[in-house]
Structure 1
Amino acid sequence: MALPLRDLTAPVIEAWAATEAKTRPTSARLAWRCLKAFLTWCTEQTEYAPAMAAVNPAKTKKAREALGKAGIKQDALLREQLPAWFAAVQNVSNPVASAYLQTLLLTGARPGEVLGLRWDDINTKWHGLTIRDKVEGERVIPLTPFVSHLVHALPRRGEWVFSSASKGQSLSIPRNPHMTACKVAGIKGLTLHGLRRSFKSLTEWLEIPAGVVAQLMGHKPSVTAEKHYTVRPLDLLRVHHEKIEAWILQQAGVSFDAKAEPGKLRVVAG
């Protein structure tokens, strides 16, 4: 908005919210939350406070109702969709994007967390991956056999594991390649974050302890025992995580030689 602070009144913001909600409600809700935080900050600054109203003009019932609530997303891979998804993703023309998408599903990490992996984050001695976590700062999860083969087959172009052909750049989030792969596989509406949701959903088939899955995914512990009394070292997490990976690959009809030298992966999908 090209408006001075004094003109950001409640009616102005409510009118903006009503207009934006018609075409891009998700982006508008994010912008509205940022605006609320910004105006609160302004009231605490001596140079801006005189121009501010006594009550934050963005915090109104009309603006909130105009933007609505975010819907609960349900996109996730079904077990029977795994063969088609893996076959399509493994045929993505960009091998880095292909490896990224498979790693996303098999780790349950957030799309940005996987994209931000650096070679220094891979511990080949103890088979661990350091994930830069938006909640806790960082977490260490197992480097499972299939993911290890995927990443060690990638070209080393600078610090990023999932790099672009441009020197020193990380891969751009491959939404279009994934959409194309899903179209080939006949899967509708599956987002990149839906792959993270898929990881969680698929673990239900194996009855993996909820605390293990939460620790792998970087979710905060939900009960007192998890917060204060349960400590799972990397080797214990590995037992569960490798079980998850092996089961997903089995359901997908993907087999590989786990004893093969990393980077020389032999994959058969069918």
Structure 2
Amino acid sequence: MMIHLKNLSKTYEGRSGTHDALRDVTLHIERGDVFGIIGQSGAGKSTLVRCINLLERPTSGSVVIDGVDVTVYEGKDLRVLRSKIGMIFQGFSLFQQRDVLGNVTFPLELRGVSKADARARARDLLSLVGLADKADFYPSQLSGGQQQRVAIARALANDPKILLCDEATSALDTLTTHAILGLLRDINEQLGVTVVVITHSLSVARQVCNKVAVVDRGRLAEAGFVEDVLAAPRSEAARLLVEADGVIGFRHADSPVIAKKAV
């Protein structure tokens, strides 16, 4: 699915006044991209991505998916849209009282899929994420990386065309982060899912993304192919991120090869 955010703004009202989380952001994400949204804490990254599945309603502007303006979707239309958009979070958000298989079948149960079909689909997904032998385990029995793999499997249960990753590796150590990013890249290549990755880490963007957008204080500072942005940042926000992360001498050959498959 192609995603086009047009002149997107989001303003929050509070006791101390208003806060502009997003300011007139226009951004295009192609079908099959692994697209990184990067920036410092509080830059507006999460708000931007949550506008894609309308967990946050933009104050102005529009969200266009495959040529259709979905900004005003409600009720059944909104439920159908969200079924096509999977989401994974930093904190995993698993049900502790359900075993691994039960966590993955949950979205299918909500759709009324039969128990046998839901369990078969869940087992296929657990195999995809490398946890075929953990179906009967509970989240508390798993490592952080394994819990995130369960969350990814659950996010894929409804066969989404878009996968949103909200700081999905921030709670993980370096080696586990590397493995999870590799899994996301494999999912992109094998399933043709468009992946949007929120991160404050350029090393994460460098490993998994083919394109990135830098967000700074609610505005789009710059966007482009990851190797171009990291090798020759045009904005002050991107330059500061490069300096802070120590990304020097980024070569085109270092960039991941992302398959562009029709969804």
TM range (shorter): under 0.3
TM-score between the two structures when normalised by the length of structure 1: 0.22
Higher strand share: 2
Q: As a proportion of its length, which structure holds more helix? A: 1
Rg larger in structure = 1
With normalisation by structure 2, the TM-score equals 0.22
User: Highest relative contact order (Cα 8 Å, sep 6+), 1 or 2?
Assistant: 2
